[in-house]
Structure 1
Amino acid sequence: MRGVSEKNPEGKRTARERLAVEREKQKSAEKRRRALIVGASVLCVLGLAAVAGVIAANSGGDEESEAAGPVVAPSGAQGKDGLAIPVGKESAKATLVVWEDFRCPACKVFEQNYSPTLHQLTDSGQLKVEYHLVTLIDNGMGGTGSRNAANAAACAQDVGKFAAYHDVLFENQPMESDDAFAGDGRLIELAGKVDGLDTPAFRTCVEGGTHNGWVAKSHEAFQKSGFSGTPTVMFDGKNIIQDRSMTPEKFKRMVEEADKGQ
């Protein structure tokens, strides 16, 4: 009997140890998952958006942009069909092309991690960033927040305030399921955080959806490019988001090498 009584505590300890090991495995898996998000290695094709967003990426097209109204590009827009909003000096030797959705949580994570580096590189004249705005979350989860925020950002571009307002939108991004950016009032309220942006002209542009057709055209270009999600961040022909070893520091070195002509 003593042998049996001695084995039971041992069995309980073993069970507890197995449970502890399993919990540690789960914690490790969660840490790895969070690390991928922090490294901006995940895309905004999550949950329902993963299904509906992909379906939307293969439908719509020209009819969608036409339904949104005339294509009115914001001031200073560049590239094919005037769909890129440039930030930085034209003389920069390195160019980063960023496709983003203002409702996309992974885009916010990318901005949180890379924005200081991007500001440093654009301010120094080493990098130009071309922003393309898309509406993947609207198409996947419903609503108009992606479109309305993109239109408002284009309105900010009209008066040279895109970069600052872009940052404010991501800093104040609602939950993915919350379509708060659909409200013009919220977008105008956030414009108050950017000096000189909240003007009658800006309000008219936001409330009238002046650039809605342009936003639809930009999303159409995203669809036709075959990209799988946002953010898509292209540098030297490669989507650096897919490089799990990429960090802001590594990217900075790449830009500095390009600036030196290496």
Structure 2
Amino acid sequence: MSTRNSQSNKSAARERIRAERERQKKKDRIRRQLVVAISVVGVLAVAGGIGFAVLKANEPTAWEAAKEAKVIKPAHTQGKDGTEILIGDKNAKETLEVFEDVRCPACAAFEQSSGETLNKDIKDGRYKVRFTMYAFIDGNAGGEGSKNALSALGAALNVSPDAFLKYKSALYSAKFHPDEREDVYGKDSELLKVAAEVPELKNNNAFATAVEKGTYDPWAMRMADLFGRKGVRGTPTFMHGDKKLVMDQIPQQQMTQAQYSALANANFKKMIDKEFGPAKGAEAGKNDGKGGDKDKGEGKGIREGEKDPTREN
């Protein structure tokens, strides 16, 4: 091979190597640009995601929004925002106040042992009852079952006070009432399942729609805002005017559920008799004959314009 050809081959080889290096540099440059671009997009996406998350975090929850929303008062309520639930014979001279939270296990125990006695006293006109419903267990245990069940109780009260009492009893029943730590009543489906036990609410489309749409959520939040009313921060609590009523404690000893319920009901009756005097048989607390049985209440509660003797200024 001539020296000339040898030099020519070396020159061509060098050119190929140079060209290959240039191509590789170009590839590397493009790769770096793509990496930077993807990184920028990733950063923007993350930033956008963070921004969206921050925006969502700052958005009010449905219950926070309900707290500011316009209140639709259930029928058969009185007072500002309809937060006075007063049920019973308009002619009953006394008013017993009952403070409850739907998730409260002690309230469930009271309802299961003495709920029928309370409802009978209401029906007999022995006293009216003002129910103040709290939702503080949602804050203590987490969840929204107290508020959600309270909203559903508003829908039941809109049907009738009798439906309200029956539904409240069903929610507290041994069959349905959940452990305090379980937020079962946060689900509308569970509330509607319980409502099927109440004749006035079973297959009641208006009631079901109100529960599912949260029609009375704002009302429930106003009710929940009454926490601490008259200094009451625990449930169940019973008051007559400004006087807190106290039941005898049940002794710590082994007993059946039936024995416990019987003793708890006896203690409730004893407390009521001590405060309001003993019941006067089947005729206890009936009206004075002005208007007959139609004025016995039938779950109609206090009439419009009548002053609630326990209402605070």
Return the TM-score normalized by structure 1. Answer: 0.68
The equivalent position to 1:201 in structure 2, one of 185, 194, 206, is 206
The answer for the alignment partner of 1:251 in structure 2 is 271
Query: Once the 2 structures are TM-superposed, how far is the Cα of residue 235 of structure 1 from its aligned partner?
Result: 1.6
**Residue 103 of structure 2: aligned partner:** 103
* Corresponding position of 1:167: 169
Q: Residue 180 of structure 2 corresponds to which residue in structure 1?
A: 176
Contact map agreement 1:89 1:127 (CA 8 A) in 2:
yes
Shift of 1:243: 6.4
Q: Partner of 1:213 in structure 2?
A: 218
Contact in 2 for aligned 1:99/1:131 (Cα 8 Å): yes
Q: Could you tell me how far 1:64 is from its partner in structure 2? A: 5.0
Contact preservation (8 Å) 2:114, 2:268: yes
SS of structure 2 residue aligned to 1:86: strand
State the percentage of identical aligned residues: 36
SS at match of 1:221: coil
Pair 68,230 (structure 1): closer, same or farther in 2 beyond 3 Å: farther
Please report how far the alpha carbon of residue 190 of structure 1 lies from its aligned counterpart in structure 2 after TM superposition: 0.9
Q: Compute the displacement of 1:141 (Å).
A: 1.1
1:83 paired to 2:87: no
- Do the aligned partners of 2:122 and 2:128 also contact (CA within 8 Å) in 1? yes
Contact (CA 8 Å) 1:121, 1:127: kept in 2 or not? yes
Task: Tell me how far 1:167 sits from its aligned partner.
Answer: 0.5
Contact 2:71–2:218, Cα closer than 8 Å, also in 1: yes
CA distance in 1: counterparts of 2:181 and 2:271, whole angstroms: 31
Deviation at 1:107, TM superposition (A): 1.1
How well do the aligned residues superpose, as a CA RMSD in angstroms? Answer: 2.5
C-alpha distance in 2 between matches for 1:138 and 1:73? 22
* CA positional deviation for 1:247: 1.9
Structure 1: how far apart are the matches of 2:192 and 2:172?
15
* Counterpart in the other structure of 2:37: none
Normalising by structure 2, we get a TM-score of 0.58
In 2, Cα distance between equivalents of 1:232 and 1:68:
28
Q: Deviations over 1:105-135 (max 9, x none)?
A: 1111222232122122111111111112111
Corresponding residue of 1:49: none
Distance 2:156 2:106 in 1: 23
The letter of the residue matching 1:116 is E
Alignment equivalent of 2:233, drawn from 212, 228, 239: 228
Given that 1:66 and 1:213 are in contact with CA atoms closer than 8 Å, whether structure 2 keeps it comes out as yes
Per-residue deviation, 1:148: 0.7
Distance of 2:229 and 2:153 partners within structure 1: 23
Partner of 1:46: none
Q: Could you say what secondary structure the match of 1:222 adopts?
A: coil
Alignment correspondent of 1:120: 120
Do the aligned partners of residues 114 and 238 (structure 1) sit closer, same or farther apart at CA in structure 2, a change above 3 Å counting? farther
Matched, 1:131 2:136: no
Distance 1:110 1:65, change over 3 A: farther
Q: Contact (CA 8 Å) 1:105, 1:176: kept in 2 or not?
A: yes
Local SS of the residue matching 1:133: strand
Taking a change above 3 Å as real, the CA distance of residues 65 and 127 of structure 1, as seen in their structure-2 partners, is: farther
User: Residue 220 of structure 1: CA displacement?
Assistant: 1.1
State how far apart, in whole Å, the 2-side matches of 1:68 and 1:141 are. 24
Structure 1 window deviating more from structure 2 (150-159 vs 246-255): it is 246-255
Counting matched residue pairs gives 198
Q: Aligned-pair distance for 1:257?
A: 5.8
Q: 1:130 to 1:247 in 2, by over 3 A?
A: same
